[in-house]
Amino acid sequence: MAIEWYLVVSALIFSIGAGGVMTRRNPLVILLCLELMLNSANLALIAFSRMHGNADGQIFAIMVMVVAACEVCIGLGVIVALYRRRLPIDVDELRELQG
Amino acid sequence: MAEVVFFLAALGALAGAVGTVALRNPFYSVLALVGHLISLALLFLLLRAEFVAAAQVVVYAGAVMVLYMFVVAYVGGTDIQVGPLNSRTTTAGAILFGLVLFIELTIAILGTGLKALGTEGVGIGADGVARAGDAGFGTPEQIGELLLTKFLLPFELASFLLLIAAVGAVTLARRRGGLGDPSGSTITPLDLLRPRHTGTMAEGVGGSRRITSQEQEQEGVEAGVTSVRPDDEGKE
């Protein structure tokens, strides 16, 4: 398979994720859509790594996975804190994060 | 063969992505994302990134998604969609935005005239057979060597980042509502001077005296552990 196909799939997944971030209102689902976008970037990185025959892109993808895990960790912590304070789990209601 | 696997995996990845965005219940969204991640791992395997594919399945589809599952089950799985802001125009605008973004990305990636884009990458001929020197590309051995030699500093920084994120998550999701909760965390000097059950229901119904005597009895027992007959001392 040519590398182009992987890049097209990656661009499609990124666009779907970006659309999801804009439409959904549940912060959990917004985090899931962010994961989609990060994963599409990973796919592009690994495709380029294959293109150059160099494993540096794969290291970059692993770093992206580490940062995504941290982001999930903090995001879910914020959501649990919101739930504990009986705040609505809805980004439209949470326009000001005043605690 | 590779083409068939690619199209199956790409279809799975796209269906998973659409399902993640479109499904109403966050629980099903998480499940769709798991399917998407596994299909993506298949694509990584096709690109000869064995270690990243294994890490994708184990870390992402395994650990991170289980974390999501727990939070969805804790917060409640229903996505309440009310209010005027999430109207049909917003949805249509978002879909339009996604389309424009896709077209722009496609132009940016494919229109740049990168020479090697049409090929299958270095090290593999047109027939798809691996040449010499292609062995060991993306294997755990090579990835580990790179991580511990060329990319040692990012590797260590990533471990620090993970530690900071873990501490931050514990602080945020603490027992009483996260950061900045002054009622439970400050201790005034008066609190130390008062008896421990001041303001509780036990004080209201006159049980404070009983609690004090019980505490004294317990202290006597604890002090008497070192002696020969602790029971007798407690009764006296």
Would you call B146 and A36 a contact, using CB atoms and an 8 Å cutoff?
no
**CA B105/CA A9 separation, integer angstroms:** 11
pLDDT tens column, B58-72: 988 888 899 998 888
Nearest to A26 among B26, B143, B150 (CB): B26
Nearest to B86 among A25, A29, A69 (CB): A25
Per-residue CA distances from B15 to B29, B44, B91, B218 (Å): 11, 17, 19, 64
Weakest mean pLDDT among A79-83, B52-56, B139-143, B215-219: B215-219
Would you call A32 and B68 a contact, using CB atoms and an 8 Å cutoff?
yes
Quote the pLDDT of residue B233. 46
Average pLDDT of every residue of chain B: 76
Weakest mean pLDDT among B78-92, B103-117, B221-235: B221-235
Which tokens belong to B1?
């063969």
Nearest to B165 among A49, A73, A92 (CB): A73
Quick one: which of B61, B63, B74, B71 has its CA closest to B31? B61
**CA B140/CA B163 separation, integer angstroms:** 24
Quote the pLDDT of residue A54. 82
Q: Give the CATH fold of the A3-84 domain.
A: Helix Hairpins (1.10.287)
Quote the pLDDT of residue B141. 83
Would you call A77 and B168 a contact, using CB atoms and an 8 Å cutoff?
yes
pLDDT tens column, A47-66: 988 888 888 889 999 999 99
Name the residue of chain A whose CA is nearest to B133's CA. A53
Q: Sorting pLDDT into bands at 50, 70 and 90, what band is B120? A: low
Domains and CATH numbers, chain B: 1-79+136-154 (1.20.120.1200), 188-235 (no CATH)
Average pLDDT of every residue of chain A: 87
CB contacts of A25 in chain B (<8 Å) are: 79, 81, 85-86
Would you call A51 and B75 a contact, using CB atoms and an 8 Å cutoff?
no
Name the residue of chain B whose CA is nearest to A85's CA. B177
Q: Sorting pLDDT into bands at 50, 70 and 90, what band is A26? A: confident
CB contacts of A29 in chain B (<8 Å) are: 20-21, 26, 29, 79
Looking at CA atoms only, how far is residue A20 from chain B in angstroms? 5
Which residues, listed in sequence order, are joined to residue A15 by a DSSP beta bridge?
none
pLDDT tens column, B30-82: 999 999 999 999 999 888 888 899 889 998 888 889 999 888 888 875 555 54
Residue ranges of domains in chain A: 3-84
